[in-house]
Chain A
């Protein structure tokens, strides 16, 4: 179950239930139990019925409101030079933290 269609299909998986939602909602829309139930049910149906590898099914559900969210995610065309510089600083910081955590984990 996932929301990044191109990435999962590029990798290749046996079965893929694709929800066309912003990243972070692979199991359904938040606070929407009906949507979550349908999403899992569709994943189970794929388990039962997929005829072969790389079977993708797209959930019929939509993200509420308009599809503008699709244009906004990590879209460089929408960022000012200042914002790009700020994000670079932020990313360098989290990379340093991740490196430290990784080394701590490796050291046991």
Chain B
């Protein structure tokens, strides 16, 4: 780095958010797959202000992580991408337990992410702590799993309404979606 510039305290030029869309497009084209993936893209985005103080709000959690399935091969930390561990329908589970959720079915960074601490990708325990401290009123009784099945139509037409129904059934005021 130019000495004059480094003296200004700038970060490395590549120390900026990874351009995943460009990166993945080049990657799959080089692997020989044409017809690059068309990412979801909206010109307008909905927005609803929170209608009550957080301390009075019930918060739901939505995750892309999958329940561990013993019959579906290696889902442990650093396991190769495991399509067998994917799920294709929304699932819900009780938030008062300690679920065993994994991310081996997702395209996470297998070189640098450890994937051995569920709290780094599924903040249920942390959310319960904040509830116990009164930061939120409580955690919705169930959390919900969002399928990552590469069918945008299925996600939008089937999975999203399904998840929204479940969140409403549980009386949640807001949801935090944690994508991985």
Contacts and interface: CB of A to CB of B under 8 A. Distances in A.
Interface of A: 1-8, 10-14, 18, 20-33, 36-37, 39-41, 43-44, 47-48, 50, 52-54, 63, 66-67, 69-76, 79, 84, 87-88, 90-91, 94-95, 97-98, 101-102, 105-106
Interface of B: 11-12, 14-24, 26-27, 30-33, 39-48, 50, 54, 59, 80-84, 86-89, 103, 106-109, 111-117, 119-123, 126-127, 129-130, 135-136, 149-150, 174, 176-180
- Secondary structure type dominating chain B contacts: loop
Contacts of A4: 18, 20, 179
Given A84-B30, A102-B149, A105-B88, A27 B47 contact: no
B31 to A, nearest CB: 5
A29 to B, nearest CB: 6
A43 B176 contact: yes
A88 to B, nearest CB: 5
A63 B17 CA distance: 12
Contact of B130 (A22, A40, A94): A40
Nearest to B29: A76
A23 B20 CA distance: 10
A79 B119 CA distance: 32
B154 to A, nearest CB: 9
Nearest to A105: B88
